[in-house]
């Protein structure tokens, strides 16, 4: 999630990926219509070259996996039923928050961004693979462009631009490492309507044109990312 990109971020921001994933928040129990709420570490937590476990919390709710990561400022996540979640964030150095699966796949993902307010950078599918270590994005709303444009891929009635970028000695889900980012950028989605992401179209293109391979799936979520002091909120559902 951390990027050395043309969109400048605050100095010293670390990758969202975890070095050794250690949950700050354990799984919360979901009952009936009751909602669950969790906040990550306090603002101003010092960062190091390795993953700072205090900046990330994860858990399960309604049969889905959720993750909240932020540096400086404040952010929280509230769990609705099944794949629904909401989040508010304020003056964040970086926040990545969302809900999905602890192990992803080349599946068809449905989503509905019920509401979105304030400022943000991107909303879309975010995940990792291992062996090789790859961090990937499918940007549905907003923009997340970084690195070299490889080609375009047509999927679900849209044309995505595929960019790749190498992260050198950066924090990841396997500790400080050198790895590649794959970013498919469309950005023209809308709120208040159901949409689909056919992940197989993206994965197949990454495998054939990415040149860096594509490994075993780690987690995969519908996420919002915002950085450089942004504030806002989102309510969304994934299935």
| Catalytic residue set | 135, 225
Buried b (16+ CB within 10 A) or exposed e, 133-146: bbbbbbbbbbebbb
Whole-angstrom CA distances from 24 to 61, 97, 161 are 15, 14, 35
Q: Position of tokens 């990109």? A: 5
Eight-state DSSP code of residue 53: G
- Contact assessment for residue 100 and residue 219, using Cβ atoms and an 8 Å cutoff: yes
| Residue 94 C-beta-side C-alpha neighbours within 13 Å | 19
Residue 47 backbone dihedrals phi, psi, to 5 degrees: -105, 150
Are the beta carbons of 45 and 196 closer than 8 angstroms? Answer: no
Which residue's entry shows tokens 């970086």?
Answer: 94
């Amino acid at each position: 999630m951390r990027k050395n990109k043309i969109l400048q971020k605050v100095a010293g921001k670390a990758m969202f990926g975890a070095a050794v994933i250690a949950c700050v928040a354990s799984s919360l129990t979901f009952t009936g219509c009751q909602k669950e709420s969790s906040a990550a570490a306090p603002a101003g937590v010092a960062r190091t070259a390795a993953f700072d476990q205090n900046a990330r919390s994860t858990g399960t709710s309604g049969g889905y996996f959720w993750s909240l990561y932020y540096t400086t400022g404040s952010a929280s996540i509230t769990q609705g039923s099944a794949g629904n979640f909401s989040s508010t964030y304020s003056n964040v150095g970086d926040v990545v928050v969302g809900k999905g699966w602890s192990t992803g796949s080349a599946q068809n993902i449905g989503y509905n961004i019920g509401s979105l307010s304030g400022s943000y950078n991107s909303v879309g599918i975010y995940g990792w693979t291992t062996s090789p270590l790859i961090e990937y994005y499918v940007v549905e709303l907003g923009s997340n462009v970084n690195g070299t444009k490889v080609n375009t891929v047509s999927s679900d009635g849209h044309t995505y631009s595929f960019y790749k970028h190498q992260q050198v000695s950066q924090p990841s889900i396997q500790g400080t490492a050198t790895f590649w980012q794959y970013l498919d950028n469309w950005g023209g989605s809308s709120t208040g309507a159901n949409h689909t992401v056919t992940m197989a179209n993206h994965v197949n293109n990454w495998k054939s044109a990415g040149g860096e391979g594509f490994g075993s799936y780690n987690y995969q979520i519908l996420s919002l990312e915002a950085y450089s002091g942004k504030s806002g909120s989102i309510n969304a559902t994934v299935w």
